[in-house]
Amino acid sequence: MNRRYVQAKWQLSEGVLEPTVFELGEIGKGGVVVARVEDELRREVGELDDLIPRDLQRGAIGLPGLTEPEVARHYNHLAQMNYGVDSGPYWLGSCTMKYTPKVAMKLESHPSLRNAHPYAPEETVQGILEVLYELQEMLSSITGLPKFTLQPAAGAHGELVGALIIRKRFLDLGERRDEILIPESAHGSNFASAAMAGFKVVRIPPSEEGTVDMGALKAAISERTAGMMITNPNTLGIFESDILEIADLLHSNGSYLYYDGANLNAIMGWVRLSDMGVDLAHLNIHKTFSAPHGGGGPGAGAVGVIEELADYLPVPVIVREGDTYRLDYDLPKSIGRVRMFHGNIGVLMKAWGYLKLLGSEGVRLSSGIAVLNANYARKRLMDMGFEVPYGKDRPCKHEFVISLSRFRREYGVRALDFAKALMDRGVHPPTMYFPLIVQEAFMMEPTESDSLEELDAYVDAMGELADLAKSDPEELLSAPKNTAIGRIDDSFANKRLWLSWKVYKEREGS
């Protein structure tokens, strides 16, 4: 198969694809008036000068003035110069770029949700609370963790909540535990979240198999260890088979095991987190539970905990009393609040719809096929000669990591070049250069949303590029050619720091 892709490209002037909105309309004048003060209201209230002193009134606003058709075309041009999950395979490892069922997508636009005020009396939002409560119940069943908060706005936000819960717990116990253990291959946010919660990070190096080095772990655990953050399968896509021993080591030391749910799509319906000895975890609603990634967000990062930690959840929590639901603000040990109101509700609704659609068997099937797809793609790549540095003799889970260092060594072609050339072949590149323990890494996560034909097309594209790296490396080094724009100069961007139109205009003029 030789799949090709040519992205839409709008070029409206020399050297510029789509102009910015600032170049499309007159600055400081015009725009669409969607609401206005009625004459009668103005007569009643008086002139603006009577309300706001002149020197406090807004002067010119430096926004462009456009008409609705101009704005519509501008942003549609931009949309066409972007690639989404519904465009094609999007193997961004650890990001679980799965398809969002459109029926789940639709739930956020129900008028009864859209028009709901977050402080509306609980008796007027029983429907919303019931759906959220049911979502918590389903997440509890899947993870085995009995209590949930749906407030965190993203995975890393959930990590912060988890780390703060551990911190507060030990403060209450009067124990000085200020260290969190994190495997070196972990997602970067784990380190940052632990640090934000005031912990010192202790890194656990990997074993030769790429899993947690048990000797190093034993050496690192001490009376200062508050807990460990782990993702399982890990970022190499390898299941940490020693997980029960890891949990025992921590628990017998009085420490907690935190689970980073970014990779839950590998084991949903196959392994319960509680059975692995997990004490608390965040789940990425926008990864595992199909809510879309929104070009970077919003997501949601539900946090589940064991009973012992339930009193530490952020307030309010949603509780059920008979047939009614209410928000409970009375958790004296709570870590407090991490955001306004109750969470990214519109995002959470999609997870409810997704799980209802799948049902028990469907959840297990989704993870099963995600893992099957990853193993199939990995074996095909290995059969072509691609190097899998860790765990090649055992099944991978939902993702896997290959190293392209041979191509760099032999032909001067880097993982980056492979990524750019993949785009011309109609697929979104994998996560690159991560985890850091693999040279020239490609972290590939197909998800269950790709068909066999899509898997084969992706793998074939990799095969084609491997051949080209030898016969015509320039083809890779000069890629991409078929995207809206050619290779972007990142270092120029970091030198100039044109971070807004205003900054650009002033710097360019100087």
Partner 1 sequence: MPMPAEGLIPNASGLATSKMLNYLGIDKLEDLFSDVPSPILMNEPAEIGRPLTQSEVEALYSEKLEKNVSVKLSFMGGGMADHYVPPLVDEIATNQEFYSSYTPYQPEISQGILQTLFEYQSLMAELLGMDVVNASLYDYASALGEAGRFSVRITKRKKILLATTIHPERKAVLKTYMEPLDVQIVEIDREASGEISLDELSAKMDEDVGMVYLETPNFFGVVERKIEDVADMVHSKGALLVVGTDPLLAGIVKPPGELGADVVIGEGQHLGGYMSYGGPSLGIFAVKRSFRHIRQLPGRLIGMTKTVDGKYRGYTMVLQTREQHIRQEEATSNITTNSSLMAVRAAIYLALLGPDGIKSVAEKILYNTEYLKRKLGDLPCFSVLFEDSLHFKEIPVMSEVSWSEVNSWLLRNGILGAFQVSRLFPDVDPTGKLGLLSTTEKHRLADLDIFLGLMREVCS
- Decide: 307 and 144 in contact? Cβ < 8 Å: no
**Binder of partner 1 out of 176, 218, 251, 337 (CB under 8 A):** 337
Burial class (CB within 10 angstroms; exposed 0-12, middle 13-18, buried 19+) of 353:
buried
CA distance 354 to 99: 11
Instruction: Answer yes or no: are the C-beta atoms of 32 and 67 closer than 8 Å.
Output: yes
Contact characters 215-244, partner 1, x per CB under 8 A: -----------------------xx-x-xx
263 binds partner 1 (CB under 8 A): no
**Which residue lies nearer to partner 1 by CB, 26 or 410?**
26
| Residue 68 CB, nearest approach to partner 1 (Å) | 6
Does residue number 254 form part of the binding site for partner 1 (CB under 8 A)?
no
Among residues 248, 270, 472, 474, which is the contact residue for partner 1, using CB under 8 A? 270
Contact pattern for partner 1 over residues 44 through 83, marking x by CB under 8 A: xx--x--xxx-xxxxxxxxxxxx-x--xx-xxxxxxxxxx
In 3D, which of 364, 288, 302, 375 has the Cα closest to residue 147?
302
Binding test (CB under 8 A) with partner 1, winner from 162, 206, 227, 343: 343
Residue list 363-422, contact with partner 1 (CB under 8 A): 363-366, 368-369, 371-373, 375-376, 379-380, 394-395, 419-420
b/e sequence 45-70, b meaning 16+ C-beta within 10 Å: eeeeeeeeeeeeeeeeeeebbbeeee
Question: How many Cβ atoms from other residues are within 10 Å of residue 254's Cβ?
Answer: 14
Q: What DSSP assignment string belongs to 234-265? A: -TTS---TTHHHHHHHHHHTT-EEEEEGGGGG
Task: Give me the amino acid identity at 163.
Answer: A
CA dist 279 and 256 (Å) reads 6
Which x/- pattern, by CB under 8 A, does the window 450-489 give for partner 1? xxx-xx------------------------x--xxxxxxx
Does 311 participate in binding partner 1 (rule CB under 8 A)? Answer: no
Looking at 95, 165, 228, 249, which residue binds partner 1 (CB under 8 A)?
95
User: Are the CB atoms for 352 and 304 separated by under 8 Å?
Assistant: no
Distance CA 148, CA 160 (A): 15
List the one residue from 89, 91, 92, 403 that touches partner 1 (CB under 8 A): 92
User: For partner 1, which stretch binds (CB under 8 A), given 217-225, 295-303, 399-407, 468-476?
Assistant: 295-303
Q: What is the CA radius of gyration of the chain?
A: 26
The answer to whether 386 touches 466, Cβ cutoff 8 Å, is: yes
Task: Select the span of 136-144, 220-228, 250-258, 399-407 touching partner 1 (CB under 8 A).
Answer: 136-144
Q: Which stretch binds partner 1 (CB under 8 A): 215-223, 286-294, 407-415, 468-476?
A: 286-294
Q: Is 123 in the site for partner 1 (CB under 8 A)?
A: yes
To the nearest whole angstrom, how small is the minimum distance from the Cβ of residue 442 to partner 1? 13
What six digits make up the tokens of 326? Answer: 């209410």
Q: Which is nearer to partner 1, 69 or 470 (CB)?
A: 69
Classify 159 as helix, strand or coil.
Answer: helix
Residue 72 vs 410, nearer CB to partner 1? 72
**Shortest Cβ distance from residue 223 to partner 1 (Å)?**
20
**Among 2, 4, 15, 49, which residue interacts with partner 1 (rule: CB under 8 A)?**
15
Nearer to partner 1, 471 or 499 (CB): 499
Strands 301-305 and 280-284: antiparallel
Q: Which is nearer to partner 1, 200 or 218 (CB)?
A: 200
Smallest separation (angstroms) from partner 1 to the CB of 104: 8
Please tell me the distance from the alpha carbon of residue 100 to that of residue 414, in angstroms, as a whole number: 33
Judged by CB under 8 A, the residue of 303, 429, 440, 469 near partner 1 is: 429
Closest residue by Cα to residue 446 from 363, 365, 374: 374
Among 1, 6, 12, 124, binds partner 1 (CB under 8 A): 124
How far, CA to CA in Å, does 505 sit from each of 22, 25, 433, 497, 501?
Answer: 11, 16, 35, 12, 6
Q: Which amino acid is at 24?
A: L
Q: How many residues bind partner 1 (CB under 8 A)?
A: 218
Positions 152 through 211 that interact with partner 1 (CB under 8 A): 153-157, 159-160, 164, 167, 187-189, 191-198, 201
- Closest approach, Cβ 403 to partner 1, in A, equals 19
The CB-of-167 to partner 1 minimum distance in angstroms stands at: 7
d(CA 375, CA 363): 19
Q: Which of 49, 307, 321, 490 binds partner 1 (CB under 8 A)?
A: 490
Which tokens belong to 209?
């198999």
- Binder to partner 1 among 2, 4, 36, 509 (CB under 8 A)? 36
**Three-class SS state of 483:** coil
Q: How far is the CB of 213 from partner 1 (least distance, A)?
A: 17
> Cβ of residue 293: shortest distance to partner 1, in angstroms?
4
Of 406 and 432, which has the nearer Cβ to partner 1?
Answer: 432
Q: Could you identify the residue written with the tokens 């650890």?
A: 94
Q: Which of 147, 169, 286, 425 binds partner 1 (CB under 8 A)?
A: 286
CA distance 102 to 27: 39
DSSP assignment of 372-425: HHHHHHHHHHHHTT-B--S-TTS---S-EEEE-HHHHHHH---HHHHHHHHHHT
State yes or no: residue 255 binds partner 1 (CB under 8 A). Answer: no
